[in-house]
């Protein structure tokens, strides 16, 4: 797989079909991926709260009991920018267009074609990149900052701080690109994918300010988020 290291990626597969879960789990595990499975959207959210976020989600759309896959996408993308591949029996073009437009990086129809699944998973992970920190219940940035994205909670110098969904998603985007400048345009598209006509730099600037006021402490001189004039923002925990 050239420069691609499957072992460093954790994938959450969500489907109400046990046979599909087993096929996808076995296929991915055989290639070295770390795989978690859930039989419902509710169980998937519980896993994210207790085990931390995955690097990639593979979600079914039609899950009759409880929330369906699109609702799960909606919930997850409120507090993160998790890349998602939809795996489903739904073939209507309008559903495919809406799903890719609003939620997913890619879309596959059942029955599962294992070779195609692996190719799409690798493509999405290569394009998104690995998360810059080890994923756990609380992602530890340093001794001053830990974050549980699923519960919208940060521990800042030992103090618990609540984040709004948008603040958490903004932090996730910046942390995924640790040390690199994330362009304003990219952040606007990822934060508000269905509101491009209404999302502007001033709105983003407000949320960056709110996030910084929660995770940074002026008295101690701790900084994480830096503005790069006319370029965007960067997450630089060591100030470099």
Model-level pTM?
0.90
Per-domain residue ranges of the chain: 6-128, 139-235
Give the per-residue pLDDT at 194.
73
> Which residues lie closer than 8 Å to 16 by C-beta, 6 or more apart?
39, 40, 60, 63, 64, 65
Domain 139-235 has CATH 1.20.1260.10: no
Give the per-residue pLDDT at 1.
41
Low-confidence ranges of the chain (pLDDT < 70): 1-3, 91, 195-199, 218-219, 240
Give the per-residue pLDDT at 198.
61
Give the per-residue pLDDT at 129.
79
Length of the chain: 240
Domain 6-128 has CATH 3.40.50.2300: yes
Q: What is the pLDDT of residues 191-234, one digit of tens each?
A: 988 766 566 889 999 999 999 999 998 667 889 999 998 899 99
């Amino acid at each position: 797989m050239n420069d691609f290291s499957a072992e460093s990626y954790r994938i959450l597969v969500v489907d109400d079909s046990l046979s599909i879960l087993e096929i996808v789990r076995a296929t991915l595990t055989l290639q070295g991926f770390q795989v978690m499975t859930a039989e419902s959207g509710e169980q998937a959210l519980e896993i994210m709260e207790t085990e931390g976020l995955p690097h990639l989600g593979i979600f079914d759309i039609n899950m009759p009991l409880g929330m369906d896959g699109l609702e799960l996408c909606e919930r997850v993308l409120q507090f993160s920018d998790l890349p998602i591949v939809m795996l489903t029996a739904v073939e209507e073009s309008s559903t495919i267009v809406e799903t890719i437009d609003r939620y997913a990086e890619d879309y596959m129809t059942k029955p599962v074609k294992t070779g195609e699944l692996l190719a799409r998973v690798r493509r999405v992970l290569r394009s998104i990149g690995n998360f810059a920190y080890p994923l756990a219940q609380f992602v530890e940035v340093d001794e001053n900052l830990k974050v549980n994205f699923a519960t919208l909670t940060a521990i800042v110098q030992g103090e618990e701080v609540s984040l709004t969904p948008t603040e958490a998603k903004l932090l996730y985007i910046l942390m995924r690109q640790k040390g690199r400048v994330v362009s304003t345009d990219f952040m606007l598209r990822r934060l508000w994918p269905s509101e491009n006509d209404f999302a502007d730099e001033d709105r983003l600037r407000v949320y960056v300010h709110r996030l910084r006021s929660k995770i940074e402490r002026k008295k101690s001189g701790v900084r994480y988020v830096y503005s790069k004039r006319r370029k965007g923002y960067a997450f630089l925990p060591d100030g470099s």
